[in-house]
Amino acid sequence: MSRPGPTTRARVRELSGGTARDRRDTLATEEPLEVRVQSPEGVRTVAITMRTPGHDFDLAAGFLHGEGLVEPGRITAIGYCTDDDVEPEARYNVVTVRIDGPLPDLPGLDRHFLTSSACGVCGSASLAALRHRCAPVVADELRITPEVLYGLPGKLRAAQGVFGKTGGLQAAGLFTAGGEPVAAREDVGRHNAVDKLVGWSALTGRLPLESHLLMVSGRASYEIMQKALAARVPVVCAVGAPSSLAVDLARDFGMTLVGFLRGERCNVYAGMDRVVTG
């Protein structure tokens, strides 16, 4: 079976005023991805998420790390699934992560998928649970200027090759404290794009990311902040607004959170001491 790509061609009828014309359009591909974990104890499904195909192994590794399920050092191999229970046409939509030791503790896995550590609980409970496995981000020496912040959206946009063709993808970019691009990933979901970045960092030995900035298109949610915290990213910037729980998380864990970063304007919601003005 052919491997799905990040874009899909489709026929559309374009209406403009009183005229119509048929043409072909390019869409962002959306396909499910099932993540399985295999150990000497057996195999279990831990997540099913909708994603844009590409960097699937990074996505799986980043998800497992961000949720505190599997540390990168325990991963021995990652591959597309060839088990008999997977239909040939679906094999590029199922990733198996092989680990040493026991299977991770997966509370609430009766439904056979885990969508988020925040599922089914209130915000304060989510933060309390996070405190048990994550320490605050220190990064005392890190300082950034407004000029660095103002340059991030344009640099992220320049790295969005698939977005330029489809207009339908979110993105996450990793930058140095000086604003130099390190890596960028695209997906239909911002959280998937962040997972792909974190997974790439984990599999290439770059974690922790205590001297880096994370820039995301759209808004900053609790889930985005949680994944950044697990990767030890001290500064998260977003084109859109943050949620209230994202701000609470940033303040609780010593992170800098920047929202509404557009042109030469932004709001700093937490960690203001890292942004040097004047």
Active site residues: 119
Cα distance between the two ends of the chain: 58
Rounded distance between C-alpha atoms, residue 186 and residue 278, angstroms: 35
Query: Annotation-wise, does 214 bind a ligand?
Result: no
Rounded distance between C-alpha atoms, residue 208 and residue 179, angstroms: 18
* Coil vs helix vs strand at 133: coil
Query: Annotation-wise, does 175 bind a ligand?
Result: no
Chain centroid to Cα 212, Å, comes to 15
Query: Annotation-wise, does 263 bind a ligand?
Result: yes
**Helical residues (DSSP H) of the chain, grouped into ranges:** 56-66, 123-131, 146-158, 161-166, 190-203, 222-230, 244-252
Query: Annotation-wise, does 23 bind a ligand?
Result: no
| Alpha-carbon separation of residue 44 from 62, 224, 233 (angstroms) | 17, 25, 30
- Spatial contact of 121 and 107, defined as CB atoms under 8 Å apart: no
Tell me how crowded residue 92 is: count the other CB atoms within 10 A of its CB: 18
Query: Annotation-wise, does 260 bind a ligand?
Result: yes
Chain centroid to Cα 226, Å, comes to 10
Can you say which residues are annotated as belonging to the binding site?
260-265
